[in-house]
Structure 1
Amino acid sequence: MAACASLLAMSAVTMAVPANAQGRLDAKYEASLAGLPIGKGAWIVDIAEDQYSAAVSGATTGLMKSIGGGNGTGTSQGRIVAGQFAPLNYISTVHYGKKAETIRIALAGGNVKDSAIEPSPPENPDRIPVTDAHRRSVLDPMTGSLLRAAGTGDLLSPESCRKTMPVFDGRMRYDLRFEFKRMDTVKAEKGYRGPALVCAVYFTPIAGYVPDRVSIKYVAAQRDMEIWFAPIAGTRVLAPFRITIPTPLGTGMIEATEFISVQKTAKTN
């Protein structure tokens, strides 16, 4: 679901970053529902001059763990081409009870070359099929949650929010549309404290879903979901610091408790 050491973060926001700047984010998050803790996770993002990688892990806690615990991991790697992310590989594994599911996606030039779900899910005739056209010009879910701002202007500007992320998660093709909402401030227990770019986020399912499914309808109808973005030091990249999603049981939230990023020195010959 971004942190910086305070001085480095402020520098990343207010000054142009050299083309060969690099940065790394180490963040830890807690998830809650109606104020009750339900999960914890960690996210590492490594940004180089022409490539990037991200790794996430998480597990249920508290009441959710006692009801039926689960945990998962995910990784994404890709290149940075013309200032934008170009994912190459994505792997996600989720364990729930005694079962597990692994999703693998291979991409090239923004298009899905291959994808698989193990074990194969049962066929559902009501599911809108994903076509080859739906697998073109897409991002994986992890890459789709990062904002990369072009140019050398203010990183935390309204323009950084105004993006639509076409995402394929191995099962479903959907759009995440971001719109600027406001500026705010955040403070992690460890790491970043400073300004955050608050974006409204709108979910639009495209294919690979069952239209009558209540959860899909509910999320697609929401107009109050928000993602608070903070900078990864030394880069033109913003990562989620806080995510809020209204639910019938209360507000769901994922928030960084640690958001530590550092600018790395580019290697030279």
Structure 2
Amino acid sequence: MTMPNSRSGVKRLGLAFSMMVAAGAGATAADAQFPSEVSAVYRLSFNGFDVGKYRFNSRYDGKSYTAKGDTQVSALFGAFKWAGNFTGSGSVEGKDPQPASFEMSTKTRSKTTSVKVSFNGSRVASVALVPNKNPSPEAVKVKPENLRNVLDPMGATLAISSANDADACNRTIPVFDGKARYDLKLTPKGREPVKEKRQSGQPAELLVCQVKYVPIAGHKPKDFVNPWIDYDHIEIALRAVPSAGVYVPYRVTVPSTIGAAVMTVESINITAANNQRIALKQ
């Protein structure tokens, strides 16, 4: 297996962080209305060293939602810096998000990229990329059928834990991020206790899901032959917050051959649909 150099390794794990934070922020339980607002701050670490923060905020007015996230990663003693910003909007059909738009921008010291995706009902209507380069001839072609009944990463943010306790870790989330179409396949892994410095009144237990990243289209097959990131054993630990009808991720782990990238909660503040306020702190 070819081992990436340190700079390449941190960069790819930064992208892995963005993939998982976009798919892992809180969403409502199946039998409750979306909270009016969820704000969260997560600490990002790589191989045991803190490398940045991820901040997330979602708002719901009873009909439509907006969700925003931003990531800041700095590693190699500041020699490498990576930033990502994500926004999404849409409506809610029953308990399921129906995305309308998604934007993502990333920036390093030498490169800036952006993606804009719009939806028309249950299908992707348009995609705009900057820089607008043709797909690699090695990439699996994205076909029209790959762009139906999919979620953008921020829509997946709201959908991934929109379930009851029995099936929160037993489902598949279809995602299109503007370039790649993939599935996040969740299966149950176990439960573990939560230690709180200040009692929140919520169940002190995590529901741990194993997540398999399944590439569908837009990817290069060679990148998934003996990959250095373990795409089969990504992990999301969810915490139920019954007072708000919401599951929130406490920890996301992306394992690799050179160390684990981990997103760990620092604080989560929730305003429930009934205006009850709930604060969770690690």
Bin the TM-score by the shorter chain.
0.7 to 0.9
Question: Which residue pairs with 1:160 in the alignment?
Answer: 168
- Choose 140-149 or 69-78, whichever is displaced more: 140-149
Aligned partner (choices 244, 255, 262) of residue 253 of structure 1: 262
Question: Which residue pairs with 1:32 in the alignment?
Answer: 45
TM-score by length of 2: 0.78
Question: Which residue pairs with 1:143 in the alignment?
Answer: 155
CA deviations on 1:189-209 (whole Å, 9 max, x unpaired) are 789673222111001101001
Q: Distance in 2 between matches of 1:113 and 1:201?
A: 28
Q: Distance in 2 between matches of 1:182 and 1:232?
A: 18
Conservation of the 8 A alpha-carbon contact between 1:22 and 1:49: no
Q: Distance in 2 between matches of 1:199 and 1:82?
A: 24
Q: Distance in 2 between matches of 1:32 and 1:190?
A: 24
Specify the code of the residue in structure 2 equivalent to 1:208: G
Tell me, yes or no, if structure 1 residue 45 matches structure 2 residue 46.
Answer: no
| Structure 1: gaps of 5 or more residues | 5-11
In structure 2, relative to structure 1, the CA distance for the partners of 1:92 and 1:46 (3 Å cut) is same
Aligned partner (choices 202, 208, 213) of residue 223 of structure 2: 213
The alpha carbon displacement at 1:236 in A equals: 4.0
SS in 1 for 2:168: helix
Conservation of the 8 A alpha-carbon contact between 2:213 and 2:232: no
Aligned partner (choices 185, 197, 222) of residue 193 of structure 2: 185
Structure with higher strand content: 1
Q: Distance in 2 between matches of 1:236 and 1:149?
A: 9
Q: Distance in 1 between matches of 2:251 and 2:183?
A: 20
The alpha carbon displacement at 1:213 in A equals: 1.9
The alpha carbon displacement at 1:148 in A equals: 4.5
Conservation of the 8 A alpha-carbon contact between 1:3 and 1:231: no
Specify the code of the residue in structure 2 equivalent to 1:159: D
The alpha carbon displacement at 1:109 in A equals: 2.1
Conservation of the 8 A alpha-carbon contact between 2:228 and 2:257: no
Question: Which residue pairs with 2:236 in the alignment?
Answer: 227
Question: Which residue pairs with 1:58 in the alignment?
Answer: 71
Conservation of the 8 A alpha-carbon contact between 1:145 and 1:239: no
The alpha carbon displacement at 1:108 in A equals: 2.5
Conservation of the 8 A alpha-carbon contact between 1:200 and 1:224: yes
| Structure 2: gaps of 5 or more residues | 1-20, 276-282
The alpha carbon displacement at 1:231 in A equals: 4.1
Specify the code of the residue in structure 1 equivalent to 2:220: V
Q: Distance in 2 between matches of 1:217 and 1:122?
A: 24
Q: Between the two proteins, what is the percent identity of the paired residues?
A: 24
Q: Distance in 1 between matches of 2:180 and 2:169?
A: 23
Structure with the larger RCO, 1 or 2 (CA within 8 Å, 6+ apart): 1
Tell me, yes or no, if structure 1 residue 239 matches structure 2 residue 248.
Answer: yes
Q: Distance in 2 between matches of 1:188 and 1:252?
A: 23
Tell me, yes or no, if structure 1 residue 92 matches structure 2 residue 101.
Answer: no
